[in-house]
Structure 1
Amino acid sequence: MRGLLLALLGGACITLQGVANAQISRDIGTWQAATITQLTGFLISLLILLFTRDRKQGWAKRVNPLYITGGGFAAIIIFSEVTAIKGVGVTLTVSALLIAQLLLTFLIDTKGWFGVLKRTMRLPQFIGLGMMVAGVIILKF
């Protein structure tokens, strides 16, 4: 239950961040909005880290260098989301983002990429994915 609630909170924050970034980018520019977002995210994360006193030694050495680059995707995410919101609106943008996430996570789960446990997708998962794609198409028109 906790995981589901945190997923809902994360989804809500993604939407709020996208809308806020779109407004910031209108005032000062898209890359400036990405910079501000990354900086504030870093500072808040650092404060939480210091507050929780999670001082595990050598943590950076235990992480695969490929995965450390994951934070760099945020710049692409912010730019893409802000530009899309300006062009097609919040609802269609978030819907398309969710479908892109689902398609990629589907591949990651079925192929076992990045060390995750391989999972078999069944008909209900395919139907659900198809319904989401159909929903985005309906939203577009």
Structure 2
Amino acid sequence: MVIGIICSAIAGAFISVQAAVNAKMNVHLGAWATTVLVFIVGLVGSLVPLLLFGGDLAGIRDVSPIYALGGLLGVGVVFCVMRSIQLLGPTLSVSVILVSQLIWALGVDLFGAFGMPQLTLAPGQVIGLMILLLGVVIFKQSQATALARESMKEAA
């Protein structure tokens, strides 16, 4: 469990940093060129450990074609995260993304989608989700208030 928590924390850091870097790259290349470059670099970055540590690509024949959609979903992730950061800023964008991820992950758990174990909804999960949603609203309101104060200071 500890390794899972560590990997999750690292993934969160990587996603946030990657999103900010991609948003900046998008300014110079455009959204689709940035997305292509990200996946080309990701392909090379994946091939190196595959070649060094091995892997079973022969098993690809046994994988359901529906799971290949993961690659297309990845394209959507990179593109949408990049655009949301440009439009909302990094912190609000990541906050909304986290809420959305939690809602969708809960749906996967509740329905046992994609072969995952089916779980039942507990009251604590609903309360936790509501607190998270309220936190995003408070966060955004606080951010808007801080920006308004900064604008007033600059105007004075």
Deviation at 1:93, TM superposition (A): 0.5
Deviation at 1:57, TM superposition (A): 6.0
Task: String of CA shifts for 1:56-108, please: whole Å, max 9, x gaps.
Answer: 36211111110012111111111111111111100010111111111111111
**Percent of aligned positions that are identical:** 30
Counterpart of 2:39, as a letter, is Q
Which residue does 2:98 correspond to in 1?
98
Gapped regions of structure 2 (runs ≥ 5): 142-156
Q: What do you get for the CA RMSD once the two structures are aligned?
A: 1.1
Change (3 A) 1:40 1:57: closer
Superposed, 1:25-64 pairs within 5 Å as: 25-54=26-55, 56=56, 58-64=58-64
Task: String of CA shifts for 1:13-39, please: whole Å, max 9, x gaps.
Answer: 010110000000011111111111111
Which residue does 1:66 correspond to in 2?
66
Larger radius of gyration: 2
Which residue does 2:126 correspond to in 1?
126
SS at the partner of 1:119?
Answer: coil
Which residue does 1:21 correspond to in 2?
22
Task: String of CA shifts for 1:96-141, please: whole Å, max 9, x gaps.
Answer: 1111111111111011111111111211111111111111111222
> Which consecutive aligned stretches of 4+ in structure 1 deviate over 4 angstroms post-superposition?
none
Which residue does 2:13 correspond to in 1?
12
Q: State the aligned residue count.
A: 140
TM-score by length of 1: 0.95
Counterpart of 2:11, as a letter, is G
- Alpha-carbon separation, structure 1, partners of 2:112 and 2:74: 23
Gapped regions of structure 1 (runs ≥ 5): none
Which residue does 2:144 correspond to in 1?
none
Change (3 A) 1:122 1:38: same
